[in-house]
């Protein structure tokens, strides 16, 4: 497996959709290629950091949520009601 072929399969590896014999080929390549091993590890860290941090960074304050929900409901009442 070349590095280009490895990169093409990296999404399947991350998402757990890579199955044998591909999985063994991926693991073998990672054991032999330090560049690809670092790429995998740091890409996993990238995903982890964003998932961890961004969920909280863009949190809406409760008061703003209440205000927005009230505004949405008001607009809904003024617009056409849902029809079946």
Positions that interact with other proteins (CB under 8 A): 7-8, 10-12, 14-15, 34-35, 38-39, 41-43, 45-47, 49-55, 57-60, 64-65, 68-69, 71-73, 75-77, 79-84
Q: How far is the CB of 61 from other proteins (least distance, A)?
A: 11
Tokens of 13: 């590896």
Three-state SS at 1: coil
The answer to whether the CB of 40 falls within 8 A of the CB of 7 is: no
Q: How far is the CB of 35 from other proteins (least distance, A)?
A: 5
Residue 25 CA to residue 6 CA, distance in Å, equals 9
Residue 61 CA to residue 59 CA, distance in Å, equals 6
CA distance from start to end of the chain: 55
């Amino acid at each position: 497996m070349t590095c280009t072929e490895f990169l093409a399969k990296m999404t399947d590896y991350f998402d757990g959709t890579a199955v044998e014999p591909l999985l063994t080929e991926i693991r073998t390549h990672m054991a032999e290629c330090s560049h690809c091993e670092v790429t995998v590890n740091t890409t996993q860290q990238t995903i982890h950091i964003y998932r961890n941090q961004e969920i909280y960074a863009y949190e809406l304050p409760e008061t703003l949520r209440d205000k927005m929900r009230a505004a949405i409901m008001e607009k809904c009442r003024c617009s056409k009601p849902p029809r079946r």
